[in-house]
């Protein structure tokens, strides 16, 4: 049996004007050498915003590209694309690795969002619809948080020809100042939150791969390695995670001549697994919502 290599990417935020992904072909080098690609949430913006890009056209363009250029890939949902598929998490390496986007680790989903109270209330209402048994299920909680995420209302984009447009977008992103403080707090607590949830729901996991907070990093909590793949938005950059039966390798992603390529190795973990330890990842069409 041939050894497969699965590459995990997240938080492309294609369609967001803050994203460094200006054209989808710039991603093609990241697919080279991988047998399967997993997009771990926030791949693109599927929610509407006044004056923003058209979600239906954006979705169609993105899906056509990944079908053509990243065959056998799988799209997991994020909070910006909660309806992109019906797959919210993934178990790899025979249960040794757990993959999900990350908003489920916060009671208010996006603690730094100006709509934090609204999102938190939406999430609580969705949880109230669950039975006591369902509330103990991580899968059911993931469905609830995706439904809540889809109710976030996007702010209007500054006018495209306004001379202070970039400044206005920055103000929208970081004002009021408590947003920056909430974001730093989320960076601080995420590894511990992940470890707590994974220990309860995936006790056999040794790795957890998340995104969402845009801060790339590798942390160890007891016997769990928490990997955050960062974001293709500034300022910190993104990581790619390569998963094979023999090792888990975390690499920085850099730009070279307008294209994204794999950079230096950040961390490497040897595995003692058998070659068949990486389970089959659902075909692309099985986890993909239909284009509108």
- pLDDT at position 120: 94
Query: Residue 180 — pLDDT band, cuts 50, 70, 90?
Result: confident
- Beta strands 6-9 and 224-228: pairing type? unpaired
* Residue 93, token pair as written in the block: 């390496």
Examine the pLDDT at 204 and tell me if it is beyond 90.
yes
Indicate the burial class of 25 (C-beta count within 10 angstroms; 0-12, 13-18, 19 or more): exposed
Q: What domains can you pick out in the chain, each with its CATH number?
A: 6-106+193-287 (3.60.21.10)
Q: Work out the number of other CB atoms within 10 angstroms of the CB of residue 284.
A: 19
Which carries the bigger pLDDT value, residue 277 or residue 264?
264
pTM of the model: 0.88
> Are the C-beta atoms of 274 and 252 separated by less than 8 Å?
no
pLDDT for the residue numbered 263: 97
Q: What is the dihedral of CA 248, 250, 255, 258, to 10 degrees?
A: 30
């Amino acid at each position: 049996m041939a050894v497969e290599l699965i590459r995990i990417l997240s938080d492309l935020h294609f369609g967001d004007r803050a994203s460094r992904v200006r054209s989808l072909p710039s991603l093609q080098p990241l697919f080279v050498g991988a047998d399967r690609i997993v997009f771990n949430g926030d791949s693109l913006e599927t929610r509407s915003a006044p004056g923003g890009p058209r979600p239906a056209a954006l979705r169609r363009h993105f899906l056509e590209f990944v079908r053509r250029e990243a065959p056998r890939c799988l799209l997991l949902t994020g909070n910006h694309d909660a309806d992109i598929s019906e797959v919210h998490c993934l178990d790899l390496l025979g249960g040794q690795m757990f993959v999900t986007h990350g908003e489920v680790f916060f009671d208010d989903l996006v603690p730094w969002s100006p709509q934090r109270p609204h999102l938190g209330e939406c999430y609580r209402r969705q949880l109230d619809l669950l039975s006591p048994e369902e509330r103990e299920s991580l899968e059911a909680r993931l469905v609830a948080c995706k439904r809540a995420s889809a109710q976030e209302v996007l702010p209007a984009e500054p006018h495209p020809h306004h001379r202070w447009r970039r400044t206005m977008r920055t103000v929208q992103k970081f004002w009021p100042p408590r947003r920056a403080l909430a974001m730093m707090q989320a960076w601080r607590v995420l590894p511990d939150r992940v470890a707590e949830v994974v220990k309860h729901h995936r006790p056999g996991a040794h790795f957890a791969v998340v995104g969402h907070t845009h801060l790339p990093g590798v942390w160890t909590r007891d016997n769990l390695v928490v990997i955050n793949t960062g974001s293709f938005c500034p300022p910190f950059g993104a990581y790619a995670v390569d998963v094979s039966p023999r090792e888990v390798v975390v690499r920085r992603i850099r730009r070279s001549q307008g294209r994204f390529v794999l950079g230096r190795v950040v961390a490497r973990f040897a595995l003692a697994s058998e070659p068949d330890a990486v389970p089959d990842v659902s075909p692309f069409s099985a986890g993909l919502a239909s284009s509108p």
